[in-house]
Chains A and B, each alone.
Chain A
Amino acid sequence: MTHVAVQFAEAASGLASLGLDWRMFLFQLFNFVVVLWLLKKFVYKRLVDTLESRRKIVLESLDNAKEAAAELEKTNEKTVELLDQARSQAADIVALAHKEAAAMVEDAEAKAKKRADHMIEQAESRLQQDIQKARIELRRETLALVATATETVLRQKVDTAADKKLIASALKEAE
């Protein structure tokens, strides 16, 4: 013990030569250890737990953010795909609508033409009938006039002699 005290004393005398007080040094070392123990006992663990918890939250958030980004990417891709499909379908629908509209127009034109042709045909038929009727009427009137004129002339011209010739000729034909 004495030897150690001597050595301490020698060291102290050596440290003292450097301007350091070993008692003070031990005291401060003790304080440091106490403070370290207290910190470790009451602060570090909670701090580490809190930090760990935050780290986990941050990591989770990062994972969630990555997932969300991936989901967003997928959603964007799907949206683009759906938009493409929608555009394609819209183009098809528009093309089909154009085609149907053209067909409807064509059909309407054909019907209108057919109806017009039918009307023209009917009008022509009616016209022909009217013409035919007028012709028949004209022919009838002409014949009636001819018959009346002939009757007038014959009443003056047919005397007994002429009548005899006429009857004889008719009887010959009748034989």
Chain B
Amino acid sequence: MFKITIQAFITAAKGLAVTLAHLFGARRSRGTRDVRKADYFDQQGGVTTVQFPKEKMPIPEVARYQLDVEIDDCIVCDLCAKACPVDCITIESVKATDVIGKTSDGSVKRLYAAQFDIDMAKCMYCGLCTVVCPTECITMTDQYDRSMTNLAELTYSFADMTPEEVEEKKREWTKFQAEKEAAKSK
């Protein structure tokens, strides 16, 4: 019993020495905070705290934080919405009567994006949507510090069409369909 007790005292003293070293080591801050630096893991002493809004940790430009959509490159294929495990992407498409343009990588656009909403409050930052996107128009950015007072503000809207435009395109498509039907029945 006394042997165990002496052992306990020795190990307790070792532990106390470790914490004391850290207590006094806290006088300085851990300088290197950029994980890309080679010496990042050499820093073992000092305070690790990053005093967030005042200080920020350097993060790469291609970090996996909030989503962004380059709507001009989007072919409205709906793959991202299907891939999303938490269903935070809502897409509504309107068919065009003809080819409406090309994306920057040469894909042909045949659909208008009437609605392209991403609810960042639901998003779990898995990045699956960016993987399936054929034109790489949906990407993750280095933006993470976005607090809103109203939950609805966290639903980002990427579609750039006004309701009138959507109505008009819908009408055009219905008319086109009707004309096609009429041509068929002749």
A-B complex is real: no
Binding site for A on B (CB under 8 A): none
